Amino acid sequence: MTEITNITIVGAGHGGGTFAAALRSGGYTGEIVLIGDEPHIPYQRPPLSKDYLKDAASFQQLQLKPEQYYLDQHVSTHLGSRVESIGPAAKSITLEGGLSLTYGVLVLATGSRPRRIPLPGVDLKGIHELRTIADADALKPIMQDGKRIALIGGGYIGLEVAASAIGLGGGAVVIEREARVLARVASEPLSNFLQDFHRAKGVEILVDSQVTALEGDVEGFVKAVLLSDGRRIPCDAALLCVGGVPNDELAKGAGLACDGGIVVDLSGRTSDPSIFALGDVTRRPLPLYDDQMFRLESVPNALEQGKQIAAELLGKPAPAAEVQWFWSNQYDLKIQIAGLPLGADRRIVRGNPDDGKFSVCHLAGSRLLCVEAVNSPADFLGAKALIGQKPAMDLDKVADSAIALKAAILSG
């Protein structure tokens, strides 16, 4: 392989920022150009629905690295600049305003954005989405005024914002189309537990509820959410949080293979050998699940792919496959999930949800595939270590929360 001297990263978010740092700590001394359309150095998004919204964390604490890092490490940043197109034949990109740059290797880390639903009234004032620090700053004053916010979509972001609103003395109503919150991303016991917990904290949770329109007052401020069964749910603001869509338009425009996300292999390579992609924007194989292809929206996913690409570009051995994981904080609950329950045929609950401390273990036969842990950090970390090793588990021990999960392996 000829030596790489110019790596250009499009998207200065969590994945792009960490990847740039991984190149430097991996010994790469060539040029790194980091381009992002937000006017900020890379920062973490998870606190946007949690501590940052509650004013318990500052923007500086959210930054992945301090400003000085990019100067010291010679990472050239172009912030507040959007990349408009890629010319794969000339290995060039064009920025908003017309500036054109060439690259040796291009890494697309453009992330995802909140899905917009074409509802009547969606352009009213007081209707928000939450992806960026600017979005969070717009949302903060509403939450702090003790107003009632309607969360349209009962996913993790909706539930986290509901918890933050309650923490700030406001009110929240979660409106979910499916029969339970987190229907796509959590098991029934976890969904049920969280619904009960939120309700006990004063959140109204409406399931099987289809939003048909948003209603405003004479000044054009949202005042209510209208449902298909005729109900009218009053609110002072609404957050659209019905999932994300990949920012893969640039890649499509360049003719890269996309399938609901940019298709990459285990080294992060796209269908163009000089273009790589990572994070929320990709559809990637998962080696622990027979290389099935997934588009995941999580920090650990973006970090793992960054390591895969850095290893590939720096000529290092490919890193071992990581167990996917995710976390969420709501009130004093910490939810940590290791693995994915793909192909699971057995479910064992360790501990008792009534104690606010339990884990839902998903297995295929005796093989552990996924653990959803609530305030059970040792189960989570134990599972994270075990799932990749694929040992046979002793099901009786798995069911006994007095026995550490990592000790629940079948002996002999």
Ligand X SMILES: Cc1cc2nc3c(=O)[nH]c(=O)nc-3n(C[C@H](O)[C@H](O)[C@H](O)COP(=O)(O)OP(=O)(O)OC[C@H]3O[C@@H](n4cnc5c(N)ncnc54)[C@H](O)[C@@H]3O)c2cc1C
List interacting residues with ligand X (CB under 6 A). Answer: 10-16, 35-38, 45-46, 48-49, 82-83, 109-111, 130-131, 157, 247, 250, 279-281, 297-300, 302, 326-328
Structural contact between residues 33 and 76, judged by C-beta atoms closer than 8 angstroms: yes
Among 4, 31, 64, 394, indicate the residue that binds other proteins (CB under 8 A).
64
Smallest separation, CB 19 to other proteins (Å): 14
Burial of 141 (0-12, 13-18, 19+ CB in 10 A): exposed
- Our CB check for other proteins shows the closer of 72 and 123 to be 72
List the one residue out of 157, 201, 164 whose CA is nearest residue 181: 157
Q: State the nearest-atom distance from the C-beta of 264 to other proteins, in Å.
A: 21
| Whether 100 contacts 92, CB under 8 Å | yes
CA 111 from centroid of its chain's CA atoms: 9
Q: How far apart are CA 75 and CA 309, in angstroms?
A: 17
**Dihedrals phi, psi of 333, to nearest 5 degrees:** -95, 135
Nearest approach, Cβ of residue 244 and other proteins (Å): 19
Site string for other proteins, 322-361 (x = CB under 8 A): -----x-x----x-x-------------------------
E strands present in 194-243: 204-206, 211-216, 222-227, 232-234, 237-240
Q: Is 300 exposed, middle or buried (0-12, 13-18, 19+ CB in 10 A)?
A: middle
Binding mask 157-186 for other proteins (x = CB under 8 A): ------------------------------
Shorter beta-carbon distance to ligand X: residue 37 or 322: 37
* Interaction of residue 55 with other proteins, rule CB under 8 A: no
**Position of tokens 């509403």?**
142
66 or 169: CB nearest other proteins: 66
Name residues whose C-beta falls within 8 Å of residue 162's C-beta, 6 or more positions apart in sequence. 149, 151, 172, 174, 198, 203, 330
Report the C-alpha gap between 121 and 369 in whole angstroms: 43
One-letter identity of residue 248: D
The smaller minimum CB distance to ligand X, of residues 106 and 227, is found at 106
Q: Choose between 164 and 401: whose C-beta lies nearer to ligand X.
A: 164
For the CB of residue 217, give the shortest distance to ligand X in the complex, in Å: 28
Q: Interface residues with other proteins (CB under 8 A)?
A: 25, 44, 46-47, 50, 61-62, 64-66, 69, 72-73, 299-300, 303, 319, 327, 329, 334, 336, 375-378, 380-382, 385, 404, 406
